[in-house]
Structure 1
Amino acid sequence: MDVLKAVLFFASVVSAKYLPTWESLDSRPLPDWYDEAKLGIFIHWGVFSVPSFRSEWFWWDWQGVKTNDTVEFMKKNYKPDFTYGDFAKQFTAEFFEASEWARIFQDSGAKFIVFVSKHHEGYTNWPSKYSFNWNSKAVGPNRDIVGELAEAVKSQDGLRFGLYHSLFEWFHPWYLADKKNNFTTQEFVDGKTLPELYELVNTYKPDVVWSDGDWEASADYWKSKDFLAWLYNDSPVQSSVVTNDRWGQGVMCHHGGFFTCQDRYNPHHLIKHKWENAMTIDRQSWGFRRRANVADILSIEELLEELITTISCNGNVLLNVGPTHDGMIGVIYQERLHQLGSWLKVNGEGVYSSRPWTYQNDTVTPGVWYTSKSKSQPPAVYAFLLQWPEKGMLYLNSPFPTEKTEVTLLGYSGPSFKWTSQPTQQGIHITFPALNVKQMPCKWAWVLKMTNIKN
């Protein structure tokens, strides 16, 4: 009888159809893999990587809002008749090796990547039928960048492939016409945006569809709900795909698979709906900047703090790198990714497949954040320490120990740590071994594993 119930339940799930309404679309469970992954890599790469002057918004800075430094840069360095389209010829990608990128990303400990297939400039990194002469096969590299990267990433164990796609384009005449008509017409959506999205999903089968560029028009203009219903019901990735929340004006942080809410979003408190901290290693830009200084690059300590505080509060981190126009991931980016990977090799047990605990951070001792695994045997609570305890003693107010409580340090092969509790005081006092911090398995942040904790 139980087998029959299971079969009937599975059949009902398979036959379920999501309607093009937010109520129905939001009822779709988020595929488990995304919550378990915790860390992804964002890659911003396009024609904007050629001038690499200010940010990936270079074209808009130059000919949209006309920022003084960008306009002056073009006057000093380029002929008066130079156009933004001329930059595409210099988007050469001669050093781009998809397999090497995939190796770097896997080495970082990331479990998925999200590649910018098209930014607001409209240039597609694949030979789109809907972007005539403004794509990576027609001008520039003469290659299917998305296709090469998709194949390389999917060949790596435990690494999933995702795509970012901008709904709008700054200077596309169809979009500007729709905008002039107060979005009562949808020529751009029907002729450009939706065909591109269907083409991307059917051709490359991404496990993440990361939408952007939605904010000027409603979800009804973008026909977002119709696309998402198809994506969840009938697409080749219907059971595995995850989506974000940028599908129309007023949608962000309210509807979608996971919430982004804003760039570099990190509320530092529990958000019950799964969310994502999309952030950059370069503090000022998503695309590569030739003018970046060392001070503009986040340190490994800062990156780990972002990762730890994010996963403690039910978020994932999507960490951005910006390759150069010729296809190189800069040494400083590679160093940060390698540092993350080496840290995760020691402490990944407390990161991957973890869940928020009863408390997100310690209520007394600063710089301590928690995750948990209730299904492990025995159930475990992980305390992430952003600072090494002074004098070898750590007091944690949040955990309630039992007689069977054990405390260990991930990566440390010595005996369990000694601990005590006071009858008149909640929490736990942990005594660290007489070891210098330099002798510890990690240099930057440390993870205690506590089992048989009451709460």
Structure 2
Amino acid sequence: MDVGPHRDLTGELASAIRKKTKLHFGLYHSLFEFFHPLYLQDKRNNFKTQKFVMEKTGPELYEIVNKYKPEYVWSDGQWEALSQYWNSTQFLAWLYNESPVKDIVVTNDRWGNDTLCKHGGVLTCNDRYNPKKLVKRKWENSMTLDRTHWGCRKEAVLADFLTMDELIQTIAETVSCNGNILMNVAPTWDGRIPPIYEERLRQLGLTTNTTSFVLIRDVERGCLPFRIFNTGEALVLYTSKKGTDGVNVYAIVLDWPKNGLIRLGAPIPTAKTKVEFLGYDGSVHFKATLGQSSMTIDVSSISFNEMPCDWAWTFKLTHLKKLKLK
């Protein structure tokens, strides 16, 4: 407001999102600043003083919550000091008990170098965290399209960015293991989205996987929200979502099988089980052994020009036997 465009850009963004979309509004906040003199002074004192916390970053946190009412407070910059230095427990107690968003707010786990991957509503653990196994506690994969950097780099070359295959697999792995994906796109200094980022976002929007990237929250009642390396040629990941007639399971095939047969080793079919190839108008044939974890989908008759997308193919499975996760 004082040194920039003299506009409350954060307030304008919050207002626009709430008025024009159904999205939840959250804010990123860095606890520390690399070169702030008060922070450097506290650091020289081995964080036994808290001038930076008391005069700058602490009041700032209370201000943005009271003013913008974010539903997600994404904290960062915690790694050099304990949560005690940052007064994190005091702030979080206020946030969850007295703040204007106390009944709806979500936080991550970056509130001190003693809290990472231990405390918080959502665990981030580290940048690009991807355990590749089912984690029952909600977690988040905070990643970038640039393989190594979060900002926009003029010297970056094409090989520095995730390919579409890699991006789809990362998202599918994350969601199928009960995680959220946080995908960073770095704008230029004047606010433009570089073409490589725009291309990836447009390609992502053209896939047929949007529905399958929504994981049912109650994993005890859901079906198969975990990663499976099946016995055939294709790598398959599963997600699930509540439908009108029960739980729909989505099998995301990351590698198209050379022999035209996709073997699913996890779903247990029933006599009513149906299989739909998302984005494909025709029907697909499958064989199954009732009551056993054995299904084979035959896609050998589907020609190349009938494929609904170029990356990751999703099959919707309905009327499966319900499973409880162990």
The TM-score normalised by the length of structure 1 is 0.66
1:412 corresponds in structure 2 to: 280
The alpha carbon displacement at 1:439 in A equals 1.5
Structure 1: tracts of 5 or more residues without a match: 1-136
1:383 corresponds in structure 2 to: 251
Deviations 1:233-257 (A, max 9, x none): 2222222221110001121000001
Q: Secondary structure at the match of 1:178?
A: helix
The code of the aligned residue for 1:421 comes to A
Q: Does 1:350 align with 2:217?
A: no
Question: Whose relative contact order is higher, 1 or 2, with alpha carbons under 8 Å and at least 6 apart?
Answer: 1
Given that 2:263 and 2:296 are in contact with CA atoms closer than 8 Å, whether structure 1 keeps it comes out as yes
CA distance in 1, matches of 2:151, 2:263: 43
2:92 corresponds in structure 1 to: 228
Percent sequence identity over matched residues? 52
CA distance in 1, matches of 2:216, 2:258: 28
Q: Does 1:401 align with 2:269?
A: yes
Given that 2:214 and 2:239 are in contact with CA atoms closer than 8 Å, whether structure 1 keeps it comes out as no
Q: Secondary structure at the match of 2:294?
A: strand
Match of 1:335 among 199, 205, 211: 199
Match of 1:370 among 238, 251, 261: 238
The alpha carbon displacement at 1:301 in A equals 1.5
Larger Rg: 1
The code of the aligned residue for 2:16 comes to A
The alpha carbon displacement at 1:312 in A equals 0.4
The alpha carbon displacement at 1:437 in A equals 3.4
Match of 1:258 among 122, 136, 139: 122
2:312 corresponds in structure 1 to: 445
The alpha carbon displacement at 1:450 in A equals 1.0
Given that 2:269 and 2:290 are in contact with CA atoms closer than 8 Å, whether structure 1 keeps it comes out as no
Match of 1:180 among 44, 60, 78: 44
Q: Quick one: structure 1 residues 429 and 189, their matched pair in 2 at CA, closer, same or farther if it must change by over 3 Å? A: same
1:267 corresponds in structure 2 to: 131
2:7 corresponds in structure 1 to: 143
1:242 corresponds in structure 2 to: 106
The code of the aligned residue for 1:318 comes to L
Q: Does 1:432 align with 2:299?
A: yes
Deviations 1:28-62 (A, max 9, x none): xxxxxxxxxxxxxxxxxxxxxxxxxxxxxxxxxxx
Q: Quick one: structure 1 residues 438 and 238, their matched pair in 2 at CA, closer, same or farther if it must change by over 3 Å? A: farther
The code of the aligned residue for 1:319 comes to M
The alpha carbon displacement at 1:376 in A equals 4.5
The code of the aligned residue for 1:223 comes to N
The alpha carbon displacement at 1:220 in A equals 1.2
Given that 1:347 and 1:411 are in contact with CA atoms closer than 8 Å, whether structure 2 keeps it comes out as no
The code of the aligned residue for 2:112 comes to G
CA distance in 2, matches of 1:148, 1:424: 55
CA distance in 2, matches of 1:195, 1:330: 35
CA distance in 1, matches of 2:104, 2:197: 29
Given that 1:362 and 1:398 are in contact with CA atoms closer than 8 Å, whether structure 2 keeps it comes out as no
Q: Secondary structure at the match of 1:420?
A: strand
Given that 1:362 and 1:396 are in contact with CA atoms closer than 8 Å, whether structure 2 keeps it comes out as no
More helix by share: 1
Q: Secondary structure at the match of 1:211?
A: strand
The alpha carbon displacement at 1:354 in A equals 3.1
Given that 2:42 and 2:51 are in contact with CA atoms closer than 8 Å, whether structure 1 keeps it comes out as yes
CA distance in 1, matches of 2:48, 2:85: 8
The alpha carbon displacement at 1:375 in A equals 5.9
The TM-score normalised by the length of structure 2 is 0.90
1:293 corresponds in structure 2 to: 157
Q: Secondary structure at the match of 1:381?
A: strand
The alpha carbon displacement at 1:212 in A equals 0.7
CA distance in 2, matches of 1:160, 1:292: 32
The alpha carbon displacement at 1:291 in A equals 0.7
1:134 corresponds in structure 2 to: none
Deviations 1:294-317 (A, max 9, x none): 111112221111100000001010
Deviations 1:138-187 (A, max 9, x none): 33444333223223333332222211111111222211222222222211
CA distance in 1, matches of 2:302, 2:174: 29
1:153 corresponds in structure 2 to: 17
CA distance in 2, matches of 1:321, 1:423: 46
Q: Secondary structure at the match of 2:53?
A: helix
Match of 1:216 among 80, 89, 93: 80
CA distance in 2, matches of 1:282, 1:247: 26
Deviations 1:186-227 (A, max 9, x none): 111111111111111111121211111111111111111111
Q: Quick one: structure 1 residues 360 and 174, their matched pair in 2 at CA, closer, same or farther if it must change by over 3 Å? A: same
The code of the aligned residue for 2:280 comes to Y
CA distance in 2, matches of 1:436, 1:201: 54
CA distance in 2, matches of 1:172, 1:241: 29
Q: What is the count of residue pairs matched by the alignment?
A: 316
CA distance in 2, matches of 1:225, 1:425: 49
Superposition map of 1:318-333 within 5 A: 318-333=182-197
CA distance in 2, matches of 1:354, 1:331: 34
